Structure 1
Amino acid sequence: MNSNAAIAAFLNPDEIQDVQARLLNMLSEEILRYTGYESNSVPVETAQSLFESMLYCMTAYLNTLPDPYAALRALDLQQIFFSGLELVRQYVTECRQLLKKVKATRVQTELIAYNHTIDVGIKEFFQSYDPRFHAHEGACTIDYPLCQDDQDVTGVLYIRNYLMELLEENEFCAGYGKNYIRALLLTHGVRHHLDYREMLMNIKELILEQK
C-alpha cells in the first residue's frame, strides 16, 4: 500500500477531501522550501515526489500510534508531518547503528553479494538519502537476498527492516562454523554449476535446508 492510500484508509470520503485540500497547502510550502524560496513552481514529477515524501513521513508516524484514526483527527496535519519527519531522521540514525552491528556480526564468507551489500550497498543509501524531500526513495545496491524480505515498504523503513533481519540472520549463522558454511555454499555451487562466490543465495536459508 502506498502512502497516499495508507492515509486514506484512516478516513471517510468527506474527510479525505478536506485532508487533501490541506495537504496541497502543505505541498505548496514544501515546494518553496525545496527551491530555496526562489520559486513556487516545479515540474509535475518533482511535485508528485515531494507530495509522496510528505505522505511517507506522515504515514510512518501514524503507524507508530495505537489509534492512527483518532490521531489524524486530533492532530494538525503539519504537526503529524513534522513528527513523521523527525521519526524518519531517527530511523536513519538507528540504521547507522544497525549497520555497525551487522558488520560486527558478519558471516566470514567469500559470497560477493553478501559482502558488497554490507560494505558498499547500504553505504550508498546513507550517501544519497534525503529524509525531507525524498523520504520514500533511497537509491542503493542491495544484491544479497534475505531469508524473509518485506518489499512492500520503501525508503528508510525498508533499509531498517533489511538490517534488522540481516542482523538476526548473522546471529543465527554464528552458531555454525566458517568452514561448514563455506562447504555448504561450495557444494550448492557445484550442484548448480556455479561459482559459489557469485551466487545470489541466502546463507541462513541454505543452512535451514540441511535440517
Structure 2
Amino acid sequence: MNFETEELLPIVAELADKYTGKESTSITYEKARQLMEAVLYCIHEYETDPVKSQELLTMDGKTEAKRIYSLGYEAVLRNVKEAQILYNKIIPDFKYYENWCYYDTFAKGIPSFFLYYDPRFQPQNHILTLDYPVLYPVNSLRGIDAISAFVKCVSLEQGFFGKMPDEYVLHVLRAYSTDHGELIINLAGIVLRNILGCRMAGKRVNTQGYTPGELERLINYVKRHKTASLEQEMEGLVDELVRSVYDGQDEMGDYLKADLHDYCFELKNAVKNQCLDSILAI
C-alpha cells in the first residue's frame, strides 16, 4: 500500500507534537526522518499483520493513511506482547551449553530490548545486534519483526535440545572446538549435523566415537550421492527425526533444514579431504 509523502506528513507532525510535548514547533531533520520511518514501519506492520481487518477503507487519503498507521501501531504493540510471552516461556529452562554468545544475546540482550524498545517514536530500531546466529536470517528485519523472529528461532532450538541429554550436546560441541564457548556459532546446527552423521553411519546417537565400520558406512553413504541428492536424503532424515522424536512439528523440521545445504557441501568436502573430524565428533 503506497501513500504519497503529503499523506503521511500530518501523521509525522502529530508524532512530532507528542515527541516534544507540544513545547516546540520544530524538530531536527534527523528526528523528522526517524519519525517518518516510524510511520512507514507501522504501515508495513499493518500490511503484513495476519489479523488485520479486511474491511475496505474508502476514506480520503489522509484519513486512510492515519487509520492504517494506527492499526499498524496496534500490531506492533501486539507483536511485542506476543514475543514477550514466548520469551518468558523459554527463559526459565533456557540452556546455552557454555556458549556465551548464546547466553549474552538471549538471556541478557532480549530483556534490554523489552525495557528500551520505543514502539511509538522508533519502532524500526530493535536496539540489539543479535550476535547469536540463528539458522533463519534475521539481519534483514528491523524492530519487533527482528526480535520476534529471533525469539521464535530460539524457541525451536530449545525444543530441539530438550529431547536429548545435555552430555550429548556438550560432547559434540566440545568435539567441534575446545573453545566452543567463546565462538559465535549456531549450536543447533552442530548438534543436528552429528545426529545425521550417526544416522548415515548406522550408529546410535551417543557420546561414543565411530567404529571403523561405522565410519566406512558414513563415508560410503556420502560418496554415493552428489551434493543435491545428499541434501534430499538429509531432508528425509530430518523429517524422520521430527516425526519420531518431535511429534511431527513441521515448523521445527523446516527450521533445522535451513542448515542442510551448507552441511552437505561441507560433508562432501570433508570426505574428499579426509577431515570428517572437522564437522563431526568422530
The TM-score with structure 1 as length reference comes to: 0.82
Q: CA RMSD in A?
A: 2.3
Instruction: Report deviation, 1:39.
Output: 1.6
Cα distance in 1 for residues equivalent to 2:91 and 2:112: 15
The match for 2:192 is 208
Secondary structure of residue in 2 paired with 1:200: coil
The match for 1:45 is 30
Secondary structure of residue in 1 paired with 2:177: helix
Pairing partner for 1:164 from 152, 155, 168: 152
CA separation of 1:24/1:95 partners in 2, compared to 1, >3 Å: closer, same or farther? same
The answer on whether the counterparts of 2:96 and 2:102 sit within 8 Å (CA) in structure 1 is no
The answer on whether the counterparts of 1:106 and 1:170 sit within 8 Å (CA) in structure 2 is yes
Cα distance in 2 for residues equivalent to 1:152 and 1:118: 19
The answer on whether the counterparts of 2:46 and 2:52 sit within 8 Å (CA) in structure 1 is no
The TM-score with structure 2 as length reference comes to: 0.63
Q: Runs of 4+ in structure 1 displaced over 4 angstroms?
A: 65-75
Q: State how 1:38-77 maps to structure 2 within 5 Å.
A: 38-64=23-49, 76-77=64-65
Pairing partner for 2:18 from 19, 33, 48: 33
Equivalent AA in structure 1 for residue 79 of structure 2? Y
Cα distance in 2 for residues equivalent to 1:208 and 1:48: 44
Cα distance in 2 for residues equivalent to 1:73 and 1:154: 30
The match for 1:4 is none
The answer on whether the counterparts of 1:124 and 1:141 sit within 8 Å (CA) in structure 2 is no
Instruction: Report deviation, 1:68.
Output: 9.9
The match for 1:5 is none
The match for 1:139 is 127
The match for 2:84 is 96
Equivalent AA in structure 2 for residue 152 of structure 1? S
Secondary structure of residue in 1 paired with 2:17: helix
Could you tell me the percent identity over the aligned residues? 27
Cα distance in 1 for residues equivalent to 2:188 and 2:171: 14
Q: Which runs of 5+ in 2 are unaligned?
A: 197-282
Structure with bigger RCO (C-alpha 8 Å, 6+ apart): 1
Cα distance in 2 for residues equivalent to 1:27 and 1:78: 10
Equivalent AA in structure 2 for residue 38 of structure 1? E
The match for 1:187 is 175
Secondary structure of residue in 1 paired with 2:74: helix
The answer as to 2:161 corresponding to 1:173 is yes
Equivalent AA in structure 2 for residue 41 of structure 1? S
Cα distance in 2 for residues equivalent to 1:189 and 1:149: 24
Equivalent AA in structure 1 for residue 5 of structure 2? Q
Instruction: Report deviation, 1:73.
Output: 6.1
Q: Which runs of 5+ in 1 are unaligned?
A: 1-9
CA separation of 1:168/1:22 partners in 2, compared to 1, >3 Å: closer, same or farther? same
Secondary structure of residue in 2 paired with 1:146: coil
The match for 1:155 is 143
Instruction: Report deviation, 1:153.
Output: 1.3
Secondary structure of residue in 2 paired with 1:209: helix
The answer on whether the counterparts of 1:62 and 1:68 sit within 8 Å (CA) in structure 2 is no
